[in-house]
Amino acid sequence: MTMRMLVIGLGFSGGAIAAEALRHGVAVTATSRDPGPPRPGPSVVPFDAAGEAIAAATHLVVTAPPGEAGDPVLLAHAAAVRDATSLRWVGYISTTGVYGDHGGAAVDETTPPTPGQPRSRRRRDAELAWEAVLAGRAALDLLRAGGIYGPGRSALDDLRAGTARRVSRPGHAFSRIYRDDIAQAVLAAALAPPPSGTRVLHLVDDEPAESAAVTEYAAALLGITPPPAIPFAEAERAMSPMARSFWAENRRVDNARTKAALGLRWRYPSFREGLAAILAEERQQFAPQQGEVLRP
């Protein structure tokens, strides 16, 4: 079967997923709210006119988050999804936030979701909506991601912008994933989908880590002094409601079942490899070409 992948949402993760699929010879189409002029990469269609692309797709990747009204893809294109006779697999990018707070304990792919935050409850509702639409028709992977970072979106950028904070809360760890590891996992899942029904996969690296440790390591890479440590009780008073909601939950997300199911190793198994790779790429990008003279 020729794979025809449609990526709904050509953003930070969606763009990397599309690029990874193209590198492996997959025919890729993507949607955008504002496609703009043609450019290298996947063919792009307007989101509102995606019905034909859905009908042609064998594999569908959904990166668009739900709103208060529900999942935007199903709100606009549920009938097209139901009628898509070629569709074999859907990968829905969700969040580990659906597990809620576990007091620092580990959760794995078999842990029942208990979302506590409104945005996480919307994600769980969207997961269930996709299950209902695809029941008995196509395989569904719920790809629950941790905090996503990558080039242009990391602690390195926060330090350079002067917005980084080193909040000290010992024992409170967050799970993360490098954008390009999301892409390789999604492609691996698409190439080896479950026989039927729903599968849960965890898009998190191998080392949940405290936020302060990530900031300290990023500062060391840049050769600068990290911002002063701030006790969480003090930092919380200045946090936005969104930031406070992230810190309200503490869990360590295990990924062993996911890596075994997909037969992969992360390219960036912890924030250390990921941040170092971002910095190396930046330095290579801005390094002088052979024979070039840098002007002061």
Please tell me the distance from the alpha carbon of residue 264 to that of residue 7, in angstroms, as a whole number.
Answer: 22
Domain that holds residue 112: 4-149+175-205+252-267
Residue 191 in domain: yes
Asked whether residue 233 is assigned to any structural domain, the reply reads: no
Structural domain contains residue 288: no
Is 294 a domain residue? no
Structural domain includes residue 111: yes
Average pLDDT in the 210-228 region?
97
Average pLDDT over residues 236-255: 95
Amino acid at 250: N
**pLDDT score at 41:** 77
Q: Return the pLDDT at 288.
A: 64
CATH number for the domain that contains residue 125 = 3.40.50.720
Nearest CA-CA partner of 225 in 239, 233, 215, 237? 215
Average pLDDT across the chain, whole number = 94
Rg over CA atoms, the chain? 20
Q: What is the pLDDT of residues 196-208, one digit of tens each?
A: 899 999 999 999 9
Amino acid (1-letter code) at residue 128: L
**Closest C-alpha among 201, 204, 198 to residue 89:** 198
Q: pLDDT digits over 140-151, tens only?
A: 999 999 999 999
* Phi then psi dihedrals of residue 11, to 5 deg: -95, -145
Q: How many domains does the chain have?
A: 1
154 within domain boundaries:
no
3-state helix, strand, coil in the chain (%, to 5): 40, 20, 40
Is 60 exceeded by the pLDDT of residue 290? no
Q: What is the pLDDT of residue 293?
A: 44
Per the model's pLDDT, the better-predicted residue between 60 and 290 turns out to be 60
Q: If you average pLDDT over residues 261-281, what whole number do you get?
A: 97
Residue 158 lies in a domain: no
Q: Which among 137, 117, 116, 115 has a CA at the least distance from the CA of 127?
A: 115
Q: Tell me the two tokens of residue 115.
A: 């979302």
In a domain, residue 199? The reply is yes
In the predicted model, is pLDDT for residue 294 greater than 80?
A: no
